[in-house]
Amino acid sequence: MTALSAGWADPADVGRGDELRELVRANASLMRALTVVRDSGLPDGWIGAGVLRDLVWGHRYGDGFDLRAVRDVDVPFFDPADLSRDNDQRATARLAAIEPGLPWEAKNQAAVHTWYPQRFGGPPVPPFRSIAEAVATRPEYVTAVAIHLDPDNHIAVCAPHGLDDLLDGVWRRNPTRVSEQTFQQRVARHQPAHRWPMSASLPVFPQAGRAGDQVVPRRWAPAALPGLVRVSRPDRQPRRVDQRLRRVSTP
C-alpha cells in the first residue's frame, strides 16, 4: 500500500496533505529516515505517531524539531507471515544497522492482537487487516497519522481521521481503544502546554461534553477548531462539534 484514500473525508483534506508534505520535505533528517524505512525491505513500512506531532507542533508552537531527540521513531509495518515478537526486534535492528543513532521502534501491526490485551488489559482485540486500521486506533487523533515514501519519492499520507487535529494543534482523545481515564493520564504525562510553550492551552469537550476530552495548544487565531469530528468507521456519519466550542485562545 503506497497511498490511502480512506483517510480523506472531504476534498479540503487533499490540500492539508500537501501542507504536511511541505513540512516533512523541509526536514532532511526525517526524509532520510523515510528513505531508510523504504529501502530496508520492511513490508509496508511507515513512520508516524509522535514523530509527526513533534515535527508539526515543534515548528508551529515550540522551538523547532530534532529527530534524534524524539522518544522513538515509530515504524509500523505489516507482516502477517511472521507474528513473533522477535520480528519486531529484527526489524528495529535492521533499521538501526542502516541508520544508527535514531531511536527506532518497529512494530508489526499484523501481530498487535497477540500481545495487546496482556500489555494494556481488556478483552481480546481483532487482528488488524492493514496499516490504516492500525493507525486509526492511536490514542489521540493527532498521532493517528503516518507517512510513507514510495519508490517515486512521493510521500503517501495515511490519516484515517483526517489531518485537522495534527495541523491545527488539537489534542483530542480517540475513543476507539482509549478510555477517558487513560487519556487523562496521557495528558498528565505528556504535558502538551509545557512541551509547546509558545501555545496557549484551552480545554474543550467536543465528544461527550466532559472536561478533559481535548486539550488544544493554540497560537494561531485563524486556526479555529475543526467543525467535523471524523470517525474511523466509514458506516458512521460524522458528528458535528458544538459551534460554541469553536473558540480560539491566543497568548
Provide the 10 A C-beta neighbour count for residue 24: 19
pLDDT for res 190: 87
Mean pLDDT by 10 residues, the chain (251 residues): 38 80 97 98 96 95 93 97 97 98 97 91 91 95 96 96 91 88 88 73 38 38 30 30 27 29
pLDDT for res 36: 98
Nearest to 218 by CA among 240, 239, 245, 236: 245
pLDDT for res 13: 67
pTM assigned to the model = 0.77
pLDDT for res 208: 38
pLDDT for res 198: 65
pLDDT for res 62: 87
Provide the 10 A C-beta neighbour count for residue 245: 16
